[in-house]
Amino acid sequence: MDSPSAKHHHNLSRSSRPRSSTRGPLDASDDFSGASLHELDPLAPDDVPQSLGKDLSFLLRPNIYHPLSHVDIPPPLRSQFIVLDPGEPLSSSLGILERLLAEGRFLVAAHFAGAILTSSLISPTEIKVIFALFYTRLACLELSGNAVLAAQESKALEDLSSTFYYIDSSLQSPDTDQKHDHVHQPYLRHIVPWPLRVLAVRLQSIGFGDSRRSIGGLYEIGMEARREIMRLETSEAHRELWRERLADLGMRSVNALIEMGDLDAAKRSLETLRASGSETDINKFRKALLHVRIGDLDAAGHALGDSNESKEAGLMHPLLSMAEGRYTDAVAGWRTLQQDLTRTDGALIAQNLAVCLLYAGELDEARQLLESQVSANHSFSSLVFNLSTVYELCFDSAAQLKGQLAATIAKQPVTGQTNLDRPNADLKL
């Protein structure tokens, strides 16, 4: 019951925002100065010289950005769009945007990011800020349930592999030996931040209606990650970050194959992903979940390797029971995890326990468990969706109860970890 189009027992939850290994505009911050909008990618090249003529005015055209509306948001959860003040400095506007992101007002943030991009506050050569704002716009559209709009707007980037998006960093190095210009070896760097490139690969494949484009795009930037790893000049710290990026791309490519329906290719690709000695338990868990999506439950059970004592491994056992339809066993597994007071994912465990109780015929207990999580301010998207489904199954007055649920959520404290501009679909309204 995680979503109408996906079997909920194959998912822990729908994330409220993407996991990131580096800080950026979507990371919570107490400093609303706009600084994070300038540092989306820690490995980005230094400021691009004006002489290279990198003019991004094609991303500042108003016709790129779709008008946004609150119509699809329950009235108690609606918040007003913020009107941009063209008399304020850019730093003030970026600070407002950071605050909206920290609060989880993603639809309002998407609107405000678009307003800044189409205003006179931005110069076409302010490359870092423009890319950060464009990334924020696309990510917030996706997080607020407007992935189709994000896919259409991502097409404005056009071909990210074109020469326009590359600079020769070696030409800008102060150590360049003038006497050896004739044997100059170019070092091409992409000027688009890595998070935007990865996001654009998926969104453009949707926008252009070509699922194969996603696979090709992931392999292309994967080759670049490999080149950076092999460069002698790359520091060990940066080399490790590139390794993490490469591992992430491998799992994204498997997921893309699964979405294409090519399970055989997905399985082969997953088996070829190399596990480094420093691979995190989170990455091992991601591989296990991909095996579950493919339907290879035996492989999923072995994917965690020696991490059987990790918290992620603890989740896998009841998840496998759910995937096999053994809901009574899954209930016992989730209850055991619930007793571990050292865990920080109690709300997630409670939600999965409630789903299993629902399938086991214990609707009242499932409802009470989900409602208790809402009362504790754990109202993330999939939990609210599942509680709304329970209301539909248990009560004739489900619509009224879902309306009351929306009003309850609207009164909860702002944490920044949940999308506050949640659409009607979250509450099945």
**Chain segment 210-268, per-residue pLDDT in tens:** 888 899 999 999 999 999 999 888 899 999 999 999 999 999 999 999 989 999 999 99
Alpha helices in 261-280, H assignment, sequence order = 263-272
Other Cβ atoms within 10 Å of 400 Cβ, number: 11
pLDDT at site 180? 47
pLDDT at site 359? 94
120-167 residue pLDDT tens: 999 998 888 999 999 999 999 999 999 999 999 999 999 999 999 988
Quick one: 127 exposed, middle or buried, by C-beta within 10 A (0-12, 13-18, 19+)? buried
pLDDT at site 313? 76
Higher-confidence residue of 171 and 296: namely: 296
Enumerate the domain spans of the chain.
Answer: 325-429
Write down the residue that tokens 């678009």 correspond to: 114
List the single range of 194-203, 253-262, 303-312, 411-420 with lowest mean pLDDT: 303-312
- Is residue 330 over pLDDT 80? yes
Are 94 and 37 a contacting pair, CB within 8 Å? yes
Average pLDDT, the chain: 85
- Is residue 26 over pLDDT 70? no
- Is residue 1 over pLDDT 70? no
pLDDT at site 199? 96
Which one-letter amino acid corresponds to residue 65?
A: Y
pTM: 0.86
Higher-confidence residue of 214 and 168: namely: 214
pLDDT at site 18? 42
Quick one: what percent of the chain has pLDDT higher than 70?
84
Q: Under CATH, which architecture does the 325-429 domain have?
A: Alpha Horseshoe (1.25)
Query: Across the chain, which distance is largest between two alpha carbons, in Å?
Result: 83
**Which residues have a Cβ under 8 Å from the Cβ of 315 and sit 6 or more positions away?**
12, 285, 337, 345, 349
Average pLDDT of span 73-100 = 93
pLDDT at site 92? 94
pLDDT category, 362, cuts 50, 70, 90?
very high
374-400 residue pLDDT tens: 999 998 999 999 999 999 999 999 999
pLDDT at site 300? 86
- Phi, psi values for residue 166, rounded to 5°: -115, 150
